[in-house]
A and B are shown apart, each in its own frame.
Chain A
Amino acid sequence: GAGVSQSPSNKVTEKGKDVELRCDPISGHTALYWYRQSLGQGLEFLIYFQGNSAPDKSGLPSDRFSAERTGGSVSTLTIQRTQQEDSAVYLCASSLMSGRGLFNEQYFGPGTRLTVT
């Protein structure tokens, strides 16, 4: 079956421009996660969705970052007025569900490499 897909695979943008990154989770997965991987760093949690709701946005680094999920499926991460420090790989993952006491394996997409020049 299809895994998590992300588009675009690579994105080069000029400083100050807005970008949208897309994530298509595995069909039937109600939980969706965004992580950021900067050069030489581990993965940093940004936000997660349970259905269309985002119970935890604590990882978003600034108000330039936002995310939405519609129809309990596709999610879009938007970065406004991009800065050079936004350059990173943005990874999306999905799982059957999330919640206290539950374990559901998170399946990752291949990521979007964002380069801000």
Chain B
Amino acid sequence: AQTVTQSQPEMSVQEAETVTLSCTYDTSENNYYLFWYKQPPSRQMILVIRQEAYKQQNATENRFSVNFQKAAKSFSLKISDSQLGDTAMYFCAFLGSSGDKLTFGTGTRLAVRP
């Protein structure tokens, strides 16, 4: 069974600064996908970024980028130029080769300070 661990329950960052959220996972699979989801107070889960394990290049979406270290089973999210609207819970998630259920970490609550 896969597990996803987020060791930072809460983080805080000054507006316009950069913050990195950590995620580690455990799996015996070689092909899988990793995701970061954002959950604002509205509860709507929003996909921020995804990474295919077979791709060595780190994914980037505007101000969001990941540092994917497959051997270390690490998948961190970097948010550059933080904005007040980035305040939310962030969940790291794993999708295995079965292609069905997502396995989530316990989340990191990020607060962006003005």
Which residues of A are in contact with B by a Cβ distance under 8 Å?
31, 33, 35, 40-45, 48, 55-56, 59, 89, 91, 93, 98-106, 108-111, 113
The 3 closest A-B pairs by CB, nearest first: A108-B45, A42-B104, A45-B101
Interfacial chain B residues near A35, Cβ < 8 Å: 102, 104
Interfacial chain B residues near A109, Cβ < 8 Å: 44
Residue B61, interface by CB 8 Å? no
B1-22 residues at the A interface, CB under 8 angstroms: 4, 6
Q: Are B106 and A40 in contact (CB under 8 A)?
A: yes
Given contacts A41-B106, A42-B91, A43-B91, contact A59 B47 (CB under 8 A): no
- Shortest C-beta distance, A112 to chain B (Å), equals 9
Expressed in whole angstroms, the Cα–Cα distance for A113 and B43 within the complex equals 10
Q: Are A98 and B99 in contact (CB under 8 A)?
A: yes
Given contacts A89-B43, A110-B44, contact A43 B99 (CB under 8 A): no
- Shortest C-beta distance, B64 to chain A (Å), equals 16
- Name which residue of chain B comes closest to A113, CB basis: B43
Interfacial chain A residues near B46, Cβ < 8 Å: 108
- Name which residue of chain B comes closest to A112, CB basis: B43
Q: Are A42 and B4 in contact (CB under 8 A)?
A: yes
From B4, B101, B105, residue with most partner A Cβ within 10 Å: B101
Interfacial chain A residues near B52, Cβ < 8 Å: 103
Q: Are A102 and B99 in contact (CB under 8 A)?
A: yes
Interfacial chain B residues near A40, Cβ < 8 Å: 106
Q: Are B95 and A103 in contact (CB under 8 A)?
A: yes
Expressed in whole angstroms, the Cα–Cα distance for A105 and B98 within the complex equals 14
B43-65 residues at the A interface, CB under 8 angstroms: 43-47, 50, 52
Extra contacts, 11 of them, besides A56-B101, A93-B45, A99-B100 (Cβ < 8 A), are: A33-B100, A42-B104, A43-B45, A98-B100, A99-B99, A100-B97, A101-B31, A103-B99, A105-B50, A108-B44, A113-B43
